Chain A
């Protein structure tokens, strides 16, 4: 035993054994620690994954909220812009209308007899009409009003009104076979839409070629057909036009390009609002575009309005010191237009005599008393005119 104890090999083996046991224990501890760490890490990973998912969801929510807010802000901004433009356009529309009234009055009452001044007034009036139409177009796009007419108007007059609102109005020819009036609420919308179509037609067709409006009755109402002799429009343009013309909601005023092309947008908005149809998808017989406005019966009336009462007496124009002869005139009923039909009493008024042959006291024919009175008044009127007229160039048959 002692020898065994003294055997160094034993000690070595013992040492090795102890070292091995220690190593195994150490390895086991390390292993356990690592497993624990692994489990911890896995748990942590799961937690982080969940967190990441949550954050991703939150981010998506925030982004959609942001997009919604942005859209809201945009639409609010657009709405506010439109409201501001509506107000501004309204004042411009009122001014343009006032100016037209002033021009009309001056042209009729004051300067009507001077063809040069009158021609200048017409130029101003023409420019003003186009200006008014632009303001109306912007107002329509912004959801504003065009202005209210008091009376229904014959469809031909509505077409002529539209004609007057474009630059190249003298290229427009109107053919009408119908005798129908447009209801008062629809007069301005139809005139503005037709003017936009005419503006397109005249701008996109060869200079000098006519643009025709044909007004025809159809079973469901009345058609206004605008034909030009242009090059027509391509498929892309046609799609854009048809999208704008069939819009049912508001139009974004910022999406119309720069410079904005408002014609079809205005037509679409007004057609949807007042319940008529506009299309540009056919080809005109002249090769250009055929645009059609279809007015339903609901916007038409067959009772043509009574014309305005005659409230302006015989126009006294500048440059005419004497008013025209107001010889006795019998009112014999009214014309179809409602104007009083006046008939000069042919038997009463003698044909214009030459100054030399003017009889001094007009012989009173023994007619009825009314005729006699009329004759005297005629003589008096002629006398006053002669007395007031200072010019001597007037009056002879062969001037």
Chain B
């Protein structure tokens, strides 16, 4: 805290998350899970009057598939807020979604060790 008479710094985020969502209901986590991969659909025009966050998503996702969690982290937003914006874009047909790679069946320890050893011999 700075001395009296001196102006204290303000560090909180300028634009609050409820303004970004416009006070709308957030979609549930099931709709777009953290690992879901999203990318921009081909030949799409940025909607007119898109918010800075939507523009940022647009640029991020133009490069290829990114996970929902990654998009949120890049924007510095809570995942729920990013999810709402992504859901909007997906509903408008701007986004392609793809599930994350499937979870493993129980792989044998032997295979994992083999992979590990292979990697070690490659990079050691």
Assembled-state Cα–Cα distance A316/B25 (Å): 23
Residue contacts A-B, CB under 8 angstroms, 10 given = A108-B78, A112-B72, A115-B28, A123-B18, A148-B10, A156-B52, A170-B23, A349-B65, A394-B99, A396-B99
Given known A308-B76, A325-B35, A386-B103, contact A164–B56 (CB-CB < 8 A):
no
Question: Given the complex, which residues of B lie within 8 Å of A220, measured CB to CB?
Answer: none
Q: Does B77 contact A (CB under 8 A)?
A: yes
* A333: nearest chain-B partner, CB-CB: B63
- Is B124 close to A, CB under 8 A? no
Binary flags per residue of B34-67, CB closer than 8 Å to A gives 1, else 0: 1101000000000001001001100110111111
Instruction: Give A310 to B19 CA distance when docked, in angstroms.
Output: 22
Please encode chain A, from 264 to 308, with 1 for each CB lying within 8 Å of some chain B CB and 0 for all others.
000000000000000000000000000000000000000000001
Give, as a whole number of angstroms, the nearest-CB distance from A207 to chain B: 15
Number of A-B contacts (CB under 8 A): 240
* Chain A nearest CB, measured from B72 CB (Å): 6
Query: B79 near A113 (CB under 8 angstroms)?
Result: yes
Measured in the bound complex, the distance between the Cα atoms of B4 and A163 in whole Å is 29
Contact yes or no, A125 B64, CB < 8 A: no
Bin the interface of chain B by size.
35 or more
Segment touching B, from A44-52, A90-98, A251-259:
A90-98
B14 CB to closest chain A CB, in angstroms?
4
Q: Are B78 and A112 in contact (CB under 8 A)?
A: yes
Known: A97-B10, A346-B64. 5 other contacts (CB 8 A): A107-B80, A112-B80, A114-B80, A343-B63, A344-B66
Whether A153 lies near B14 (C-beta < 8 A) is yes
Chain B minimum-CB-distance residue to A106? B78
Whether the Cβ atoms of A394 and B100 lie closer than 8 Å is yes
Distance in angstroms from B70 CB to nearest chain A CB is: 6
Report A153-177 residues with CB < 8 Å from chain B CB: 153-154, 156-158, 160-161, 163-164, 169-170, 175
Q: With A and B bound together, what is the CA distance between A30 and B63 in angstroms?
A: 128
Contact with A along B9-41 (1 / 0, CB 8 A): 111111111111111011111000111010000
Question: Is A385 within 8 A of B100, CB to CB?
Answer: yes
State in angstroms the CA–CA spacing of A91 and B67 once bound together.
Answer: 41
Q: Is the CB of B102 within 8 A of A376?
A: no
B112 nearest CB across to chain A (Å): 7
Q: B73: shortest Cβ distance to chain A, in Å?
A: 4
Mark out the residues of chain B between 74 and 124 whose CB falls within 8 Å of any chain A CB in the assembled complex: 74, 76-81, 83, 98-105, 107, 111-112, 115, 119, 122
Whether A337 pairs with B73 at a CB distance below 8 angstroms is no
Instruction: Please give me the residue from chain A that is nearest to B4 by CB atom.
Output: A87
B22, B52, B66, B111: the one within 8 Å of A154 (CB): B52
B60 near A383 with CB under 8 A, answer: no
Q: A104-B12, A145-B7, A169-B18 are in contact. Are A394 and B111 (CB under 8 A)?
A: no
A7–B3 Cα distance when bound, in Å, is 124
* A324/B69 in contact, CB under 8 A: yes
CB of A330, distance to nearest CB on chain B (Å): 9
A147-B7 contact in complex given A107-B78, A324-B100, C-beta closer than 8 Å:
yes
Residue pair A324, B74 in contact (C-beta under 8 Å): no
Q: Is A238 an interface residue (CB 8 A)?
A: no
B80–A118 touching, CB < 8 Å = yes
B77-A108 in contact (CB<8A): yes
Residue A370 is within 8 A (CB to CB) of chain B in the complex: no
Asked if B21 contacts A90 (CB within 8 A), the reply is no
- Complex CA gap A344/B67 in Å reads 11
Q: Which residues of B contact A121 (CB under 8 A)?
A: 78
Assuming the A-B contacts A113-B34, A325-B67, A352-B98, are A119 and B26 also in contact, with contact meaning beta carbons closer than 8 angstroms in the complex? yes
Contact check, A149 vs B10: say whether CB atoms are below 8 A apart.
yes
Q: Is the CB of B69 within 8 A of A315?
A: yes
| 5 closest cross-chain pairs (CB), A and B | A386-B104, A395-B102, A112-B78, A147-B10, A100-B12
Within 8 A of B (CB), among A77-94: 87, 90, 93-94
Known: A112-B72, A383-B104. A161 touches B14 (CB 8 A): yes
Verify A315–B79 contact, CB threshold 8 A.
yes
What's the Cα separation between A378 and B12 when bound, in Å? Answer: 38
Task: Write the nearest CB–CB distance from B16 to chain A, whole angstroms.
Answer: 4
Check if B64 sits within 8 Å of A122, measured CB to CB: no
Asked whether A118 lies within 8 Å of B26 as measured between CB atoms, the reply is yes
A349 CA to B101 CA in the complex, in Å?
10
Docked Cα-Cα span, A389 to B22, in Å, equals 34
For residue A180, give the distance in angstroms from its CB to the closest CB of chain B.
14
| Interface: A187 (CB within 8 A) | yes
Closest to A93 in B: B8
CA distance A114 to B56 in the complex (A): 23
Task: Determine if A101 is an interface residue (Cβ-Cβ < 8 Å).
Answer: yes
> If A112-B80, A160-B19, A163-B19 touch, does A317 touch B103 (CB 8 Å cutoff)?
no
